[in-house]
Structures are given as structure tokens and as C-alpha cells.
């Protein structure tokens, strides 16, 4: 849920509270005065009344409803009618009867009370209405078709890290940014600069938007949402204007977050096909990003699925310096996501089992699946959700609108060999990596400034390993290798042309081919040696979905 910038209406709740307090005080005072004025006579007992009678102090007796009022020179008393011998009093003193109009007073009293409550109720209603209006406004902002909203508005995010299941390392990476947004001064004082831009790279539905909202929510700063497409799809010339407006507002409200979804729509590498509108927008974005200091407290988070499509300029130093990859959730993360989604639903679900059958599902699909399962349970028996409900609706979700990557048993085997070979070769050749998972995640190695030629060649071999391993086992080639092969070739080309790593620094086109052939031959030999280990690794990946360098090392140690 998003809320308008608090700063704007920070004075409203105070004014409203004051009004309520003053209203309450007025009602209280009036009631007190009323109580006093209404009846000031002292209630006395039978004995006291008799004393007054005997001492002959009474000047007048008044019959007033259920009471007899006794007036003396100085005072005025009252006593319940039945408590005294009325006849004796009536005979001795002058008697006056007043109409029993106490009910009028009661009505008046009652009306007054109603008025007080009415007043309070109205104020509360008004309060509520204003609150609702504000929320309505926020919802409108949120609901506005993101591609067509015509103004730039700050939203306030109530999402926190507790709403984001799994992706622990992503959260960790963003902690520092949150701290910076909370206390930019601390960083400014120590002259520490943080990146202006963070690029979240990953397939759709893995929580890029959610985590950005959570950063805003955790840091309690305004959140500006824009989709890249909205910049370029509006009228000609408007994209650049919108970008500058966006930065202007974000700076005014700093510390703040600008989130640009699908940034590739703006930052697509310019390539052959020119699009003036997009280019103008991109240039504006670059200018804006260069035009403010890191310490100003505006962080730009860009989300993209296709980092390779992005214009180099966006990735240059001082712009989107930090990149965070989010992949499809692995088994432990799927368990955490399902736990979150099932938290408030009565269930007897074996979450681990469901996590196992949902390889390739993103968080959004798990959400849909959980919802469908709950509906299925309700329709069928109306009580607990069970594992069987998930099984029953899984295919429906898979065939639904979203095209999901979900492996069949055979595909899982192929993918386990493919990824397992990469993990093994990387471990064998000392290429450091975080973990390799059954789903197609980018193979991420440690960032290093200076790489040796042998380190580069080792990486090339890792990229080739998967495809060569599946070829060896299945005598067949598969499409899952395409990205890695492209990476291998790109790296070979860099080794030859960019780094000029030929022995004599002389570059010829044949060198690329030679290097590729040599690498392929070496990986093939290596895979012969590692065949037994690969079977082990495959088993590990099939049951755990991921494998880490340590686990590969353990397997290798057992075999060799
Ligand atoms: P993206 O921006 O990567 O396309 P979103 O952030 O829009 O993905 O997420 C899509 C849906 O999945 C949202 O409903 C979001 O709440 C849910 N979701 C995504 N990741 C997670 C997560 N890690 N934990 C809980 N829900 C998630």
C-alpha cells in the first residue's frame, strides 16, 4: 500500500487532534456546569429533616416530583418524599407545589449529550473521510496505468523486507543504501559516496519492484515509480521533459528513490535503428544522473531483464554502478516464498513438496498458484488447503497467461548435467563462483580488476563445459546452451582483440578459431576425467537444485 508524501499533510493530524480535544473539553465543562446548576440542594436524611423541623428553621416546603425540598433562611435541602412524615411538614409550613418538569430537564440533558456525541461523531467521520480521500488518492496514483500517468508523483511505500521472502543476499546488498537514505548526513560528513544508481537485473516476477518498494519502505523515503516504456510511449518530446520533472521532484524531496522499471525501454543500446524520442530521453536521463551529487540523497533503481541490451553509457562509472542479479527462486527461496503466502491461510500443505514441484516458477507464479490452490480447496471442501490442491491446479497455472519456465523430468536431467558440468569444471579450474543452480542463472564470478590470461581461459572453458557435457551424454545439442556459447565466444574475442593476449601480441582472425578449438579439446578431455564426479554432481543438483564450490570440492575429494 502506498501513501502520499507525509510531509505534505503533516500538519493536518495535529489540527484535527486539537479540534477533537477542544470539543471534548467543551462538552465536559458544559456537562459539569449543567450538573451543578441543575440541582444545588443538599440531600438530607430523615433524621436531619426532623432536626430542622424540631428547631423550626424551615421557611417553606416545596413538593417537587419525588422530592420534598425544605427551604431555610440560609440553605436549601431536599429529601425523598417517602422518607418524612409529609403531613406534619405540610401542616406546619407553607407549601408550594412545582410542576414536575424534571423530565424536561432530563430531555434537555439528553439532547445536550446527543449533541456532544453527534459533534464528536461528525468529527470522527470527517477525519475518516479525509483519511479515505487521501488513501483513495494514493490508490489512484498506484492504480494509474503506469504507462500513461501524466504527472510525476511521490508515493510512500509501506512494504518492508518482511514482505520479501528469500533473496537474502539481495537484501543484504541493499542494506547500505537504506542506511544511506535514512541518514545521508552521516555519509556526507565522512565524505563517503554511494552509487547513484543500482541496476536490478533479473527475469520478470522475481521481485525487482517489490524489493525497491521495500527499500523505500525500510528507509521511509518517497518512492517515484516510472516505467521505461512510459517515457518513450508518450508524445514526442515528452519523454525528456518527464525525466527532468522526475529528477526535479525527487531532488526536492530527497532523500528519495526513483525506480525505473524496464529501463531497457529507454536505455536500449542505440544500435542501427535510431529512435529520436528514445535517444532524447536517454540523453536526458544521462544528463540528470551526471548532474547531481551522490550526496544529494537520491538513489535511482533501474530494473531490467536484458542487461545486454542496455546502452553502454548507462553502465558507465557514476551511473548504474552497482548491479544486483536476481534469479528465479531456488528451492530454499521457493520454500520461504510459499511459507509467506500460506502464512495466513489455514493449511496442511507440505511446503517442501510443493517447492519441489515448482522448479522454474517465479514468485508471482507461486502467488497465483497458492491462490488457485486455496480456491480449489474452498470449492471442494471449504476447509484446509492441502498439498493435493496445489497438485490439482499446477497445470492450470502453468497453462495460464504467463508463460513459465518449468522443466519436465527429462529437461531437469539435461539441465542438471549441463549446470553440473559448469560447476565441476569451474571448481577444478579454480574459477570462483557463488553457486550454480538448475534454473538458468547467470554464471557470476568474483569481480576482479586484473585477470590473467589463464583465468580468462578457465572462464571460457566453464562456459563451454555445459554444452560439451550434454553432447557427450546425449549425443545431441540443446538450446539451453546458447547464452553460454555466446559468452564463451565474446570472451575469446576479448582475449584476442581487446587484451591482445596472443603470445607475440600480433592479432589475426585465425587466433580466435584456434583458441576456441583448443578450449573445446581441453574441456572434452577434462570431462572424461570428471565423468564419475559429474554423475554425483548431477544427483546433488537434482535433489538440491543448486551446488556450491564447497560441495563440488567434497565430491571431487571423494572420487580422487
Ligand atoms: P518484477 O519487478 O521482478 O517483475 P515484482 O516485484 O513485480 O517482480 O513481483 C511480482 C509479484 O510477485 C508481486 O506480487 C510480488 O509481491 C511477488 N513477489 C516477487 N518476489 C517476491 C518475494 N521475494 N517474496 C514475496 N513476494 C514476491
Q: How far is the centre of ligand 1, averaged over its atoms, from the C-alpha of 199 (Å)?
A: 16
Nearest protein Cα to ligand 1, atom 19: 207
- Is the pLDDT at 20 greater than 80, yes or no? no
- Domain spanning 409-559, CATH architecture: Up-down Bundle (1.20)
Q: Which CATH class is domain 152-325?
A: alpha beta
pLDDT at position 144: 44
| Number of C-beta neighbours around residue 462 at 10 A | 27
Q: How far is the CA of 365 from the centre of ligand 1 (A)?
A: 9
The CA dihedral of 439, 443, 447, 449, to the nearest 10 degrees, is -160
Q: What is the pLDDT of residues 356-399, one digit of tens each?
A: 888 888 898 899 899 989 988 888 877 789 898 888 888 777 76
pLDDT of residue 213: 93
Which pLDDT band holds residue 38 (cuts at 50, 70, 90)?
low
Total-model pTM: 0.59
Cβ atoms of 502 and 511 within 8 Å: the answer is: yes
pLDDT band (50, 70, 90) for residue 9: very low
The domain spans of the chain are 42-100, 152-325, 331-399, 409-559
Q: Taking residues 486-490, what's their average pLDDT?
A: 89
pLDDT of residue 209: 93
The pLDDT value recorded for residue 517 is 94
Q: Which atom of ligand 1 is nearest to the CA of 364?
A: 12
Cα–ligand 1 centroid distance for 322 (angstroms): 21
Q: What confidence score (pLDDT) does residue 322 get?
A: 86
Mutate to test the pocket of ligand 1, among 2, 163, 165, 205 (most ligand atoms within 8 A of CB): 205
CA–CA separation, 114 vs 102, rounded Å?
18
Pocket test for ligand 1, best of 363, 365, 367 (most atoms within 8 A of CB): 363
Residue pLDDT, tens place only, 52-99: 888 888 888 888 877 888 888 888 888 887 777 778 878 888 888 876
How many Å lie between the centroid of ligand 1 and the Cα of residue 336?
13
Task: List the one residue out of 252, 166, 174 whose CA is nearest residue 218.
Answer: 174
- Which residues does 307 contact at the CB level (< 8 Å), separation at least 6? 199, 201, 315, 323
pLDDT for the residue 284: 85
First-last CA distance in the chain? 56
Give the residue, out of 174, 207, 362, with the most ligand 1 atoms within 8 A of its beta carbon, to mutate for a pocket test: 207
Neighbours of 207 (CB within 10 A): 25
| 204 CA from centroid of ligand 1 (Å) | 8
On whether the 42-100 domain is CATH 3.30.720.210, my answer is yes
Contact call for residues 120 and 20 (beta carbons, < 8 A): yes
**Bridge pairing between strands 2-3 and 154-157:** antiparallel
Backbone angles phi, psi at 282, to 5 degrees: -60, -45
pLDDT at residue 454 tops 60: yes
Which CATH architecture best describes the domain 331-399?
A: Orthogonal Bundle (1.10)
Q: Which pLDDT belongs to residue 14?
A: 47
Amino acid at each position: 500500500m502506498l501513501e502520499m508524501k507525509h510531509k505534505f499533510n503533516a500538519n493536518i493530524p495535529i489540527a484535527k487532534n486539537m479540534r477533537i480535544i477542544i470539543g471534548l473539553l467543551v462538552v465536559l465543562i458544559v456537562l459539569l456546569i449543567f450538573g451543578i446548576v441543575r440541582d444545588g440542594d443538599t440531600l438530607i436524611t430523615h433524621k436531619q429533616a426532623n432536626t430542622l423541623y424540631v428547631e423550626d428553621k424551615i421557611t417553606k416546603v416545596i413538593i417537587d416530583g419525588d422530592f420534598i425540598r425544605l427551604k431555610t433562611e440560609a440553605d436549601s435541602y431536599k429529601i425523598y418524599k417517602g422518607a418524612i412524615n409529609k403531613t406534619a411538614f405540610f401542616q406546619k409550613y407553607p407549601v408550594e407545589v412545582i410542576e414536575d418538569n424534571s423530565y424536561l430537564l432530563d430531555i434537555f440533558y439528553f439532547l445536550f449529550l446527543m449533541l456532544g456525541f453527534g459533534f464528536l461523531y461528525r468529527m470522527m467521520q470527517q477525519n475518516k473521510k479525509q483519511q479515505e480521500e487521501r488513501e483513495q488518492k494514493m490508490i489512484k496514483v498506484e492504480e494509474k496505468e503506469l504507462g500513461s500517468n501524466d504527472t510525476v508523483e511521490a508515493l510512500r511505500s509501506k512494504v518492508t523486507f518482511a514482505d520479501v521472502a528469500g533473496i537474502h543476499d539481495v537484501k543484504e546488498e541493499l542494506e547500505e543504501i537504506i542506511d544511506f537514505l535514512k541518514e545521508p548526513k552521516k555519509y556526507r560528513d565522512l565524505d563517503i559516496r554511494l552509487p547513484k544508481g543500482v541496476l536490478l537485473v533479473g527475469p520478470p516476477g522475481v521481485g525487482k519492484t517489490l524489493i525497491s518498494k521495500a527499500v523505500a519502505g525500510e528507509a521511509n523515503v518517497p518512492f517515484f515509480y516510472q516505467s521505461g516504456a512510459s517515457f518513450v510511449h508518450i508524445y514526442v518530446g515528452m519523454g525528456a521533459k518527464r525525466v527532468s520533472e522526475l529528477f526535479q521532484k525527487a531532488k526536492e524531496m530527497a532523500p528519495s528513490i526513483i525506480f525505473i522499471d524496464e529501463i531497457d525501454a529507454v536505455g536500449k543500446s542505440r544500435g542501427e535503428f535510431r529512435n529520436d524520442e528514445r535517444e532524447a530521453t536517454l540523453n536526458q536521463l544521462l544528463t540528470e544522473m551526471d548532474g547531481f551529487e551522490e550526496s544529494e540523497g537520491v538513489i535511482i533503481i533501474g530494473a531490467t531483464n536484458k542487461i545486454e541490451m542496455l546502452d553502454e553509457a548507462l553502465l558507465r562509472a557514476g551511473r548504474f554502478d552497482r548491479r544486483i542479479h536476481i534469479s528465479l527462486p531456488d528451492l530454499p527461496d521457493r520454500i520461504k516464498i510459499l511459507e509467506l503466502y500460506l502464512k495466513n491461510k489455514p493449511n496442511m500443505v507440505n511446503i517442501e513438496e510443493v517447492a519441489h514441484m515448482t522448479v522454474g516458477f517465479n514468485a508471482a507464479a507461486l502467488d497465483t498458484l497458492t491462490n488457485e490452490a486455496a480456491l480449489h480447496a474452498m470449492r471442494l471442501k471449504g476447509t484446509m488447503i492441502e498439498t493435493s490442491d496445489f497438485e490439482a491446479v499446477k497445470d492450470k497455472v502453468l497453462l495460464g497467461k504467463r508463460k513459465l519456465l518449468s522443466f519436465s523430468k527429462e529437461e531437469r536431467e539435461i539441465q542438471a548435467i549441463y549446470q553440473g558440468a559448469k560447476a565441476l569444471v569451474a571448481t577444478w579450474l579454480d574459477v570462483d563462483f557463488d553457486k550454480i543452480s538448475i534454473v538458468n542463472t547467470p554464471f557470476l564470478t568474483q569481480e576482479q580488476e586484473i585477470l590473467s590470461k589463464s583465468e580468462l581461459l578457465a572462464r571460457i572453458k566453464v562456459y563451454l563445459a555445459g554444452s560439451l557435457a550434454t553432447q557427450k551424454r546425449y549425443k545431441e545439442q540443446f538450446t539451453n546452451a546458447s547464452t553460454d556459447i555466446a559468452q564463451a565466444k565474446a570472451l575469446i574475442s576479448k582475449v584476442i582483440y581487446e587484451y591482445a593476449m596472443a603470445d607475440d601480441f600480433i592479432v589475426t582472425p585465425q587466433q580466435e578459431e584456434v583458441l576456441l578449438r583448443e578450449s573445446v579439446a581441453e574441456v572434452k578431455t577434462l570431462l572424461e576425467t570428471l565423468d564419475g564426479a559429474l554423475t554425483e554432481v548431477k544427483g546433488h543438483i537434482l535433489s538440491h537444485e543448486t551446488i556450491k564450490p564447497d560441495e563440488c570440492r567434497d565430491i571431487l575429494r571423494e572420487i580422487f
